Amino acid sequence: MIDVRLLRANPAEVRAALARRGDPELDQVVLRAQAADDRLREITARRDQIRARVNELSREVGRLRREGDVEAAEALQGESRELGSEESVLAAEHDSMAADLRELLLVIPNIPNADVPDGVSDADNPVIAGPYLPEGGEEGFAEHQRVPHWEIGAQLGILDNERATKIAASMFTMQRGAGATLARALCQYALDSNADAFEEVRPPTLVSTATLTSTGQLPKFADDAYAIERDDLWCIPTAEVPLTSIHAGEILDQAELPLRFMAYSPCYRREAGSAGRDTRGMLRSHEFDKVEILALSTPEQAPVLLTEMIGRVERMISSLGLHHRAIEICTGDLGQSHHRSVDIEVYAPGCGQWLEVSSVSWFSDYQARRADIRYRPLDDEGRPQKGTALVHTLNGSALAVPRVWAAILETHRQADGSVAVPEVLRPYMRGIERIG
RNA sequence: GGAACGGUGGCAGAGCGGACAAAUGCAGCCGCCUUGAAAGCGGCCGGCCCACAAGGCCCGGGGGUUCGAAUCCCUCCCGUUCCGCCA
């Protein structure tokens, strides 16, 4: 959520900043939120005045009763009772107005960072690092590398999506033999590579509605998530969801920040808006594995962490012998909760596509406000300051398995049709150097 | 799933219809004392809404009874223990 107080104090600024996202309907929502906030404060003030009077009368009644003046007490009780019914009307009005305001605020996206470039769609996302390609660029790959991974997977018997579909439904995948081992090895490698700075967590992968709302998936994107209605739980689309909420509702000490977590988890996505796209191979599926890295920080630490996390992802991709580039997401393509976001894409020579394998994002205090994650700020001398402040959250995929799996098959395919296993993965694959 | 008992501030733990945002202890902060520290002494010491103050709200969530609820009633959630079931 954005800060209502900011909207109150600088409505023009907030509207201008949000206008950069290019959503023509958004401004109306912002204006309605502003009106709801005005109305809410007015009702609150009136309600509180009545409550103050009722409290005063009740104290007086107590005193009179102790003194034995029943008649006077009963007179005041009558007055108080009348005020009470007036109060309950205003209280109901207050509650429904507060709910209205919250509903509006929950669908207003985050304010983009000033450094985010303007643009209307993904076509406007500038490349900010790379592309790191072999001699000759995208054309510089050998003929034996120009085979799509679904064909390689079939040739080597390590990808069996036909049977995955039989067992589950379309858009599910199944890796077998060395293909399954490779998928697992990628996860373990990613976890081990980030263990120097991140605490490993094995979180729940089914979460409550409140948890899925905190990170921004609900209420707006309910169609994208698998719901288990009978138990009022949701399948997580990413480990970002449970990891962000680890400290929901808590007040942290500034000295503990930044807190860093990483988790392997399966990720479940209905892909409601992308039916029929990327239906072959491993490029898009309803269930996949991912290692996520995440941090809770002060506002000052956040931009530094963003840079660090991007660097970690780039090094990981390079260490696997893959070719990548980094893309800065423009205002028109920025996700709802994102304050600033950078995608890492890997070139897959077999299908001839740049594949998004990671998205590293800074959420400012947007998720923290929804999840109510605060800290006690320290002053320059290290003494606690008055009050609390919201943390900033950041996260990124350290490694998303399917697309990296695909890029490895295509990039490391040899002239004889086998696939060379990147050196760093071999210890995680019982020493296997070559598939096929 | 059944039964019993619980859920109060950072932690521990009192309060069980009125003067309670809530005793007390620990932790924390400021000062005194000290060469420094500990101990001791004095003070401060939860959060939220509201521009501040005034005022209001918060004793697991929601609802009810009452002039008045941390305290009584209902309901849901969570925890502990025992039983059942189970990897």
Establish whether the CB of A204 is closer than 7 Å to any nucleic acid atom in strand B. Answer: no
The encoded tokens of residue A278 equal 């990327």
Q: How far apart are CA A56 and CA A59, in angstroms?
A: 5
Which H or E element spans position A352? none
The encoded tokens of residue A173 equal 């995948």
Token pair 């081992």 in the structure block, residue: A181
One-letter amino acid at A418 equals S
Nucleotide in closest CA–C1' contact with A84: B67
Name the DSSP letter for residue A297. E
| Beta carbons of A227 and A268 less than 8 angstroms apart | no
Give the DSSP letter string of A101-159: HHHHHHHSPPPPPTTSPP-SSGGGPPEEE-----TTGGG-S-GGG-S-HHHHHHHHT-B
Q: How far apart are CA A325 and CA A291, in angstroms?
A: 20
**Same domain, yes or no, for A93 and A130?**
no
Nucleotide in closest CA–C1' contact with A61: B67
Establish if A115 belongs to a structural domain. Answer: no
Establish whether the CB of A384 is closer than 7 Å to any nucleic acid atom in strand B. Answer: yes
> Looking at residue A199, what is its pLDDT?
94
**Same domain, yes or no, for A156 and A290?**
yes
Q: How far apart are CA A34 and CA A334, in angstroms?
A: 23
Nearest to A273 by CA among A287, A284, A282: A284
**Same domain, yes or no, for A425 and A396?**
yes
**Same domain, yes or no, for A202 and A93?**
no
Nucleotide in closest CA–C1' contact with A384: B29
> Looking at residue A146, what is its pLDDT?
94
> Looking at residue A281, what is its pLDDT?
87
Between the alpha carbon of residue A82 and those of residues A46, A54, A79, A85, the distances in Å are 15, 10, 5, 5
Establish whether the CB of A68 is closer than 7 Å to any nucleic acid atom in strand B. Answer: no
The encoded tokens of residue A201 equal 């967590």
Establish if A116 belongs to a structural domain. Answer: no
Nucleotide in closest CA–C1' contact with A381: B29
How many angstroms is C1' of B38 away from CA of A248? 38
Q: Where a domain ends, among A55, A84, A107?
A: A107
**Same domain, yes or no, for A266 and A415?**
yes
Q: Where a domain ends, among A107, A136, A160?
A: A107
Q: Give chain A's domain count.
A: 2
Q: Where a domain ends, among A107, A138, A170?
A: A107
> Looking at residue A275, what is its pLDDT?
67
**Same domain, yes or no, for A315 and A374?**
yes
**Same domain, yes or no, for A182 and A138?**
yes
Which H or E element spans position A390? strand A389-390
Establish if A114 belongs to a structural domain. Answer: no
**Same domain, yes or no, for A240 and A318?**
yes
Establish if A113 belongs to a structural domain. Answer: no
How many angstroms is C1' of B34 away from CA of A254? 31
Task: Specify the CATH number for the domain of residue A9.
Answer: 1.10.287.40
**Same domain, yes or no, for A315 and A414?**
yes
Establish whether the CB of A235 is closer than 7 Å to any nucleic acid atom in strand B. Answer: no
Instruction: Please list the rounded mean pLDDT of every run of 10 residues in chain A (436 residues).
Output: 92 93 93 92 90 88 79 84 85 88 92 94 90 87 92 94 91 95 96 96 91 90 88 92 92 89 95 76 93 95 96 96 96 94 95 94 94 85 79 95 96 94 96 93
> Looking at residue A137, what is its pLDDT?
85
Establish whether the CB of A44 is closer than 7 Å to any nucleic acid atom in strand B. Answer: yes
The whole domain housing A82 covers: 4-107
> Looking at residue A390, what is its pLDDT?
92
**Looking at beta carbons, which pairs linking A204-207 to residues 24 or more positions away fall under 8 Å?**
A204/A236, A204/A242, A205/A235, A205/A236, A205/A239, A205/A242, A205/A265, A205/A266, A205/A268, A206/A231, A206/A233, A206/A234, A206/A235, A206/A236, A207/A233, A207/A234, A207/A236, A207/A241, A207/A242, A207/A245
**Same domain, yes or no, for A223 and A165?**
yes
Token pair 């594949």 in the structure block, residue: A355
Establish whether the CB of A48 is closer than 7 Å to any nucleic acid atom in strand B. Answer: yes
**Same domain, yes or no, for A322 and A427?**
yes
Establish if A319 belongs to a structural domain. Answer: yes
Establish if A254 belongs to a structural domain. Answer: yes
* Bases along strand B below 7 A from a protein CB: 10, 18-19, 28-30, 47-51, 54-57, 63, 66-68
How many angstroms is C1' of B28 away from CA of A246? 25
Q: How far apart are CA A70 and CA A105, in angstroms?
A: 50
Establish whether the CB of A84 is closer than 7 Å to any nucleic acid atom in strand B. Answer: yes
**Same domain, yes or no, for A89 and A160?**
no
The SS3 assignment for A289 reads strand
The encoded tokens of residue A259 equal 């807190």
Task: Specify the CATH number for the domain of residue A226.
Answer: 3.30.930.10
> Looking at residue A187, what is its pLDDT?
97
Establish whether the CB of A249 is closer than 7 Å to any nucleic acid atom in strand B. Answer: no
Q: How far apart are CA A360 and CA A345, in angstroms?
A: 11
Rounded to 5°, angle at Cα A7 from A374 and A360? 55
The encoded tokens of residue A208 equal 């409550």
